[in-house]
Amino acid sequence: MAEENHDSILGKLRSGETVPCEICKKGFYIPYNTTPDKAHSFNCSNSDCNNRINIDAVIDVE
């Protein structure tokens, strides 16, 4: 269900696009401590939200 959506979000994040947070809709995802193409997770820029996306869980398809 939500997985395709999740996938396309990750694709955008990887390519450095700005993706608004789907939880709070105020912040946007920022790579945790590294560049977008190397990040293992992205955090919401809104400090009140703390939403986080982990990429590892998806990459594990390979």
Window 10-49: residues binding Zn ion (CB under 5 A): 21, 23-24, 27, 44, 46, 49
List 20, 51, 55, 58, residue binding Zn ion (CB under 5 A): 51
Q: Indicate whether 53 belongs to the interface with Zn ion (CB under 5 A).
A: no
Smaller CB separation from Zn ion, 25 or 61:
25
Centre a 10 Å sphere on the Cβ of residue 33 and count the other Cβ atoms it contains: 10
Closest CA to 41 of 30, 27, 49, 26: 30
Residue 49 CA, chain-centre distance (Å), reads 13
What is the bridge-based pairing of β-strands 41-44 and 29-31? antiparallel
Least separation in angstroms between residue 48's CB and Zn ion is: 8
Q: Indicate whether 57 belongs to the interface with Zn ion (CB under 5 A).
A: no
